[in-house]
């Protein structure tokens, strides 16, 4: 991150959370499940799908993890009851991966049958590189046990991702492809923006060529146009892929993609742990930080 952006983010983090919250909530459904249901219902009315995320990660006790599992169970039940077109994303550090890997596995396995009974789907988010192998191993174990309603995420900035994709496509997979947001060393991750973009498109092409279902998750016009080109060249039906974006980010681009006839899924986070999520989003998009500080400095 540019030094000036670091300085602004540092200044923002010193502000009371009460000042940050009004802007942060533009990118979060709210603090409750009812808030998430409301937002998802509105997105569905606009012909968009959603994926819900109960905010929270890096938990340190089994009790916290079990509360997260229960919250996810309630999400799946609410989606069924309200007949919403939405699925669920989870993070392994929220389910106890840093406490005990087998404990985490049992927690994930606990919610998959519920999702399957509701004809729904669970995606395991990818976190920083210390969790990459754990996440892939757990995913492969669950698929080997017959769970077809589980997917994962591949980060284009990791140098290992091409090899991971080649292994994954041996079995039909449902993959969300992202650039990647965690700060990783050059030895394991591309640092140059164009290198990351080109690797993203390379991985996307491999996945689409082998007829795997891909969530094309990006807010980058260049990558959107690259995806459009592949879709045209391969003559893919709109059911073979979907675009994905974060709630509150680039709504005009989102609406244009939908108007162009492509399916769109919006990532809808909610929960009490909104602050840490917001800071991570602000690190990705320093322009938001500038906007917040300007709004606070020049408000009446």
Q: Give catalytic residue positions.
A: 125, 176
**CB within 8 Å of 237: residues ≥ 6 apart:** none
For 80, 138, 140, the CA distances from 134, given in Å and listed in that order, are 30, 6, 10
Q: What is the CB neighbour count within 10 angstroms for residue 239? A: 8
Task: Map residue 270 onto helix, strand or coil.
Answer: strand
Contact 263, 22 (CB under 8 A): no
Helix orientation angle between 3-13 and 286-297, rounded to the nearest 10 degrees: 50
Q: How far is Cα 235 from Cα 231, in angstroms, rounded to an integer? A: 6
CA gap 201, 271 in Å, rounded: 33
CA 270 to chain centroid, in Å, comes to: 13
Task: Identify the CA nearest to 177 among candidates 226, 144, 114.
Answer: 226
Judge whether 277 and 3 are in contact, CB under 8 Å: no
What residue spans of 145-188 are helical by DSSP H? 161-168
- DSSP readout, 2-52? -HHHHHHHHHHHTS-HHHHHHHHTTSS--SSHHHHHHHHHHHHHTT-EEEE
What's the rounded Cα separation, in Å, for the pair 136 and 139?
Answer: 5
């Amino acid at each position: 991150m540019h030094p000036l952006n670091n300085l602004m983010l540092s200044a923002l983090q010193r502000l009371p959370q009460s000042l940050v919250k009004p802007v942060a909530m533009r990118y979060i459904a709210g603090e409750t499940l009812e808030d998430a249901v409301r937002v998802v219902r509105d997105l569905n009315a606009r012909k968009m799908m959603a994926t819900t995320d109960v905010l929270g990660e890096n938990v340190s006790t089994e009790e916290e993890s079990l509360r997260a599992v229960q919250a996810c169970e309630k999400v799946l039940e609410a989606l069924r009851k309200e007949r919403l077109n939405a699925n669920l994303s989870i993070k392994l550090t929220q389910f106890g991966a840093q406490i005990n890997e087998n404990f985490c596995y049992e927690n994930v396995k606990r919610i998959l049958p519920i999702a399957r009974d509701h004809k729904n789907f669970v995606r395991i988010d990818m976190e920083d590189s210390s969790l990459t192998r754990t996440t892939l191993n757990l995913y492969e174990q669950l698929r080997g046990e017959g769970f077809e309603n589980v997917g994962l995420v591949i980060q284009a900035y990791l140098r290992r991702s091409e090899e991971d994709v080649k292994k994954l496509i041996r079995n039909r997979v449902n993959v969300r492809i992202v650039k990647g947001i965690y700060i990783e060393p050059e030895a394991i991750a591309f640092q140059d923006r164009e290198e990351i973009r080109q690797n993203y498109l390379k991985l996307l092409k491999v996945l689409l060529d082998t007829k795997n279902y891909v969530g094309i998750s990006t807010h980058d016009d260049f990558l959107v146009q690259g995806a459009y080109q592949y879709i045209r060249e391969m003559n893919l039906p709109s059911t073979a892929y979907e675009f994905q974006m974060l709630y509150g980010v680039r709504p005009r681009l989102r609406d244009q993609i939908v108007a162009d006839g492509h399916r769109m899924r919006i990532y809808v986070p909610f929960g009490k742990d909104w602050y840490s999520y917001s800071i991570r989003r602000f690190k990705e998009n320093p322009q938001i930080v500038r906007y917040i500080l300007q709004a606070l400095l020049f408000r009446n």
